[in-house]
Amino acid sequence: MANSAPPNHILFAGGQQGQLVDATVATDPPNLSQPLINEPAQANPPASITATGPLQYLLGTWTNQNLGQTMMGGPENPYSYNLMILPQVDPESPYGYILKSMPYYEEITFTAVHGSAANRGGLGTQVSYAILYEQRVYIAAGPAEDMLVHFENGIWGYLDDQQQVLGPYGNGNQPGLGNQFVPNSVPPTQEFDLFKQISVPHGNSVLACGLFSSQSGAPTIGPPPQVLPAGINTDAYDSLSVGNLNPDRALNPNLPLSQALAASNVTKYLELQVDSSKGGGGVTNIGFEQQHCDVLQYYATYWLEALGGSDDYTQLQYSQTIMMQIPIVQAGASEPTNIVFPHITANTLTKVPGSGPSG
């Protein structure tokens, strides 16, 4: 989510005291054959799979794979793009910022939880059925090919309105478990039935809430709501450079998603949308990030897609935007101006056969 040193270099102490030596290291492609999360087996209680609603179709491991009979979609030529902005005060970057944008590939594992979390309100309960996830993202092209560029973990939750059970275990004050409810208990009403919690090692935490819907056919995926920042020169976005390998995708990071749809036969899909500005969500950042790259908002759309008339959702597309406020010293200025940049990532993934309960 924020600036970092070039990932294919290691800085270490050496030579004279305090001197840093820059050593370029070789990079091997990661092993994507194993899930990122391995939960220990548990028979009782069973994992709450169907209770997670639309999230049950995420369970398993997803990676970049070639689509159909094409030679595109895998790590070598993925349907993805990462539009990333870095502040930089340097005579060779007259705009006060540079781009570090590239296609990428990744691995995400979603796993079920053997339980739920009940939010009790007195007469009604909102039950959260959650799944865990871990994500690792790798650069697909350029000088740092195959290097890890991002990782995160967190929770997706599906919220279900229910009556409130009587007593601590549904059996009043009697021993044992029961299925009794508080007299006149009424399920609560709520505007949002999904949430996503994100933990990012840059020092950012995100809570975003939203909704899901079920649709027939294939989605129509246009450009993100906002791509270019306002109040600053944007020539860097449409100029080919080592930090901007695909200018057409920099101007529309969702373009690879529509290209992937043209290579797929999507016949129905689930759409999941979450936004940190809704449902009491928000973003928190450590102090350095607040000063140099303050994340203001996160919003994302996920499309779980079934192919060829199947009832199994085996293709996953997403587009997510992170709005970052960065103080930029523009050419000719002596003081920085706060500029809000959209940091956008979009990718098309395929479920690893045999992973997850519906694999």
Q: How far apart are CA 138 and CA 142, in angstroms?
A: 11
Q: How far apart are CA 64 and CA 238, in angstroms?
A: 26
Average pLDDT over the chain, rounded to whole?
90
Give residue 8's pLDDT band: very low, low, confident or very high (50, 70, 90). very low
pTM, two decimal places: 0.89
Strands 337-351 and 294-307: unpaired
Written as six digits, the tokens of 275 are 């936004």
* CB-based contact 210:276 (threshold 8 Å): no
> Of 9, 324, 306, which Cα lies nearest the Cα of 144?
9
> Of 349, 337, 341, which Cα lies nearest the Cα of 64?
349
Written as six digits, the tokens of 130 are 């959650």
Domains delineated in the chain: 9-351 (2.40.128.20)
Q: How far apart are CA 261 and CA 190, in angstroms?
A: 33
> Of 263, 344, 237, which Cα lies nearest the Cα of 301?
344
pLDDT in tens, 273-285: 999 999 999 999 9
Residue ranges of alpha helices (H) inside the chain are 247-251, 255-262, 287-292
Higher pLDDT, 330 or 55: 55
Q: How far apart are CA 118 and CA 170, in angstroms?
A: 12
Using the structure block, give the residue that is written with the tokens 């020539």: 235
Using the structure block, give the residue that is written with the tokens 């790259």: 293
Is residue 240 exposed (0-12), middle (13-18) or buried (19+ Cβ within 10 Å)? exposed
DSSP 143: T
DSSP 58: G
For residue 276, the model assigns a pLDDT of: 98
* CB-based contact 118:353 (threshold 8 Å): no
For residue 332, the model assigns a pLDDT of: 79
Q: How far apart are CA 331 and CA 343, in angstroms?
A: 22
DSSP 181: B
For residue 38, the model assigns a pLDDT of: 78
CA distances from 297 to 33, 218, 275, 294, 345 (A): 33, 28, 8, 9, 14
pLDDT in tens, 311-345: 999 999 999 999 999 999 887 788 899 999 999 99
Contacts of 38 (CB under 8 A, 6+ apart): none
Give residue 133's pLDDT band: very low, low, confident or very high (50, 70, 90). very high
pLDDT in tens, 216-232: 999 999 999 999 999 99
Written as six digits, the tokens of 121 are 């309100």
DSSP 40: P
Give residue 25's pLDDT band: very low, low, confident or very high (50, 70, 90). low
For residue 239, the model assigns a pLDDT of: 93
Best-predicted range by mean pLDDT (115-119, 169-173, 175-179, 296-300): 296-300
* Dihedral, CA of residue 28, residue 68, residue 259 and residue 241, to nearest 10: 20
Residue 12 has pLDDT above 80, yes or no: no
Average pLDDT rounded to a whole number, residues 30-34: 85
Q: How far apart are CA 122 and CA 101, in angstroms?
A: 50
For residue 271, the model assigns a pLDDT of: 98
Q: Is the peptide bond before 357 cis (omega within 30 degrees of 0)?
A: no
CA distances from 244 to 81, 97, 193, 322, 344 (A): 10, 13, 38, 18, 13
CA triplet 347, 349, 354: central angle to 5 degrees? 165
> Of 216, 221, 185, which Cα lies nearest the Cα of 79?
221
Residue 3 has pLDDT above 70, yes or no: no
DSSP 204: E
Query: Length of the chain, please?
Result: 359
pLDDT in tens, 13-22: 333 444 444 4
